[in-house]
Amino acid sequence: MECEFPSINSNNQEILEILDSVKVIAIVGLSPDETKSSNRVAKFLQTHGYKIVPVYPKEDIILGEKVYRSLLDIPFEIDMVDIFRKPNAFDAIADACIERGDIKVFWGQLGLVNNEAAQKAKNAGMKVVQNHCPKIELENR
């Protein structure tokens, strides 16, 4: 599989504004394994005041938070979705974000890009960030 470059992406200033404005972040693919990037990033976000919501197919609790099987199962408002899944899963995630109607930011983690799903999210009114990590962005500000 070839690496795709983000054709749709927020600029650095908008990324910082996003991180200043969001409060609740659903982390799709949040692993319970403390050595995995998704877990380390989620824990960092938690310690920096964000409410994280794990979305994972197994487990009941990760990082002290209730785990949901899908975005559509979460019964409260979500500001941002941070995706730790392969790019071919982004389309279904974008569809779920659109169906929910409350998600403001569609974020693909470092190394993850799907321009088609990103365009779909942008067309639905979401801000889009691809190939960036919120932990790195916060550390570098």
Residue 52 tokens, joined: 């994280």
The pLDDT of 47-54, averaged and rounded, is 98
pLDDT score, position 7: 77
pLDDT score, position 1: 40
In a domain, 55, yes or no: yes
Query: Based on the structure, what is the number of domains in the chain?
Result: 1
In a domain, 84, yes or no: yes
pLDDT score, position 141: 86
CATH number at residue 75: 3.40.50.720
The pLDDT of 28-46, averaged and rounded, is 98
In a domain, 6, yes or no: no
For residues 54 and 75, give the distance between their C-alpha atoms in angstroms, rounded to a whole number: 13
What percent of the chain stands above pLDDT 90?
91
In a domain, 24, yes or no: yes
Residue 4 tokens, joined: 């795709």
In a domain, 2, yes or no: no
In a domain, 7, yes or no: no
pLDDT score, position 10: 84
Residue-wise pLDDT for 105-125, tens only, equals 999 999 999 999 999 999 999
User: Cβ contacts of residue 47 below 8 Å, gap of 6+?
Assistant: none
CB contact burial 42-51 (16+ within 10 A = b; e otherwise): bbbbeeeebe
The pLDDT of 98-106, averaged and rounded, is 98
Amino acid (1-letter code) at residue 101: G
In a domain, 5, yes or no: no
In a domain, 3, yes or no: no
pLDDT score, position 87: 95
What is the domain extent for residue 69?
A: 12-139
pLDDT score, position 9: 82
pLDDT score, position 3: 58
